[in-house]
């Protein structure tokens, strides 16, 4: 089995996932889900059955709509429409409110992110954000995050694959072994990086969406960290 490369101090490009790696995201999806099931409970539906249905439909629609808060809300709206004879103003207003809260949620950085980025930046490390979802929504969050100045740029793709990773490396002018991907999703961050020969650091988070939780393609090549501060010693900093 191939072994993980513990020597990352010569890494030329640090590639950060955004949602649930730099800032809270799954937490707000969870809140939207809880608000929606409460709404449905008020209309007489069983919340437990609904949660199962939401998760099932969410995975089903993924290959059609791609990732994002709006496609997620579209799934919730469809469930409401299917279960109701007609939508009352109460239902429409409640759904709009849940949608607004999700799309415009406050930007909450994860513990240690700000301090770690400042140290990496001051040490002259090249850093970019690489995220998936809808371009305008992801860029809005990036611009509101208060940490955009530490990154060269933010790249948004509809879905992360080995192909999109290769394009990213090519446009940055680095070879795979000179790059390190940091992210919380085995499916979207870690496996495509490993598949391209990029070093990968897995940030283990409590609220990772179930569709993203799959097996690592090469477990021996993945190092798990609790958060961004753990990266500093690997980058030759303290």
Sites of contact with Mg ion (CB under 5 A): 17, 19-20, 184-185
Least distance to Mg ion, CB of residue 185, Å: 5
**Shortest distance in whole angstroms from residue 98 CB to Mg ion:** 21
Q: Which is nearer to Mg ion, 14 or 94 (by Cβ)?
A: 14
In the complex, the smallest distance separating the C-beta of residue 11 from Mg ion, rounded to whole angstroms, is 20
Identify which of residues 37 and 208 has a Cβ nearer to Mg ion in the complex: 208
Of the pair 37, 67, the CB lying nearest Mg ion is at 67
Quote the least distance from Cβ 23 to Mg ion, whole Å: 10
Residue 17 or 33 having the CB closest to Mg ion: 17
Q: What is the 3-state secondary structure (H, E, C) of the chain?
A: CCCCCCCCCCCCEEEECCECCCECCHHHHHHHHHHHHHHHHHCCCCHHHHHHHHHHHHHHHHHHHCCCHHHHHHHHHHHHHHHCCCCCHHHHHHHHHHHHHHHCCCCCECCCHHHHHHHHHHCCCCEEEEEECCHHHHHHHHHHCCCHHHCCCEEEECCCCHHHHHHHHHHHCCCHHHEEEEECCHHHHHHHHHHHCCEEEEECCCCCCHHHCCCCCCHHHEEEECCHHHHHHHCCCC
Smaller CB separation from Mg ion, 99 or 184: 184
CB of 182 to Mg ion, least distance (A): 10
Cβ-based nearer residue to Mg ion, 19 or 134: 19
The residue sitting closest to Mg ion, measured at its beta carbon, is 19
Least CB distance from residue 165 to Mg ion, whole Å?
14
């Amino acid at each position: 089995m191939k072994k993980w490369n513990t020597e990352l101090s010569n890494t030329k490009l640090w590639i950060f996932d955004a949602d649930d790696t730099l800032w809270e995201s799954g937490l707000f999806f969870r809140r939207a889900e809880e608000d929606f099931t409460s709404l449905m409970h008020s209309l007489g539906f069983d919340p437990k059955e609904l949660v199962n249905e939401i998760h099932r439909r969410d995975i089903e629609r993924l290959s059609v709509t791609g990732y994002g808060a709006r496609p997620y809300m579209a799934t919730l709206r469809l469930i409401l429409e299917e279960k109701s004879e007609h939508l009352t103003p109460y239902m429409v207003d409640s759904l709009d409110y849940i949608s607004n809260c999700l799309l415009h949620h406050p930007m909450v950085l994860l513990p240690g992110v700000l301090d770690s980025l400042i140290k990496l930046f001051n040490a002259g490390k090249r850093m970019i954000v690489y995220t998936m979802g809808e371009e305008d929504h992801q860029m809005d969050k990036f611009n509101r995050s208060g940490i955009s100045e530490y990154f060269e740029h933010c790249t948004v793709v509809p879905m992360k694959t080995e192909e999109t990773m290769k394009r990213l490396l090519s446009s940055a002018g680095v070879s795979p072994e000179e790059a390190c991907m940091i992210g919380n999703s085995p499916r979207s961050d870690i496996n495509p990086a490993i598949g391209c020969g990029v070093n990968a650091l897995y940030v283990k988070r409590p609220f990772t969406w179930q569709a993203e939780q799959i097996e690592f393609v090469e477990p021996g090549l993945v190092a798990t960290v609790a958060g961004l501060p753990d990266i500093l010693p690997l980058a030759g900093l303290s």
